[in-house]
Structure 1
């Protein structure tokens, strides 16, 4: 369950794969990348 997964992340036993970190203004680019399935891992949007 979610708490077990969070515990593994906290312990460093599970590490998410981040493909790219983008500013929130590039949300359209992130969406296009997801729909074209050209990313490997997670796309992270950060506020500016």
Structure 2
């Protein structure tokens, strides 16, 4: 509410979860990189 807005309005302020929300939005927008080794391991486990 108002307290959160007041904190966010301060220069340099950080609230718990801000980074997590930003990372989630970035992942939804850009995807998540997965190494070839990880993809191969998933395929081996799932029989793919």
Same fold by TM (over 0.5)? no
Q: TM-score if structure 2 supplies the norm length?
A: 0.31
Q: Which has the higher strand share?
A: 1
Q: TM-score if structure 1 supplies the norm length?
A: 0.31
Q: Which has the higher helix share?
A: 2
Structure with greater contact order relative to length (CA < 8 Å, sep ≥ 6):
1
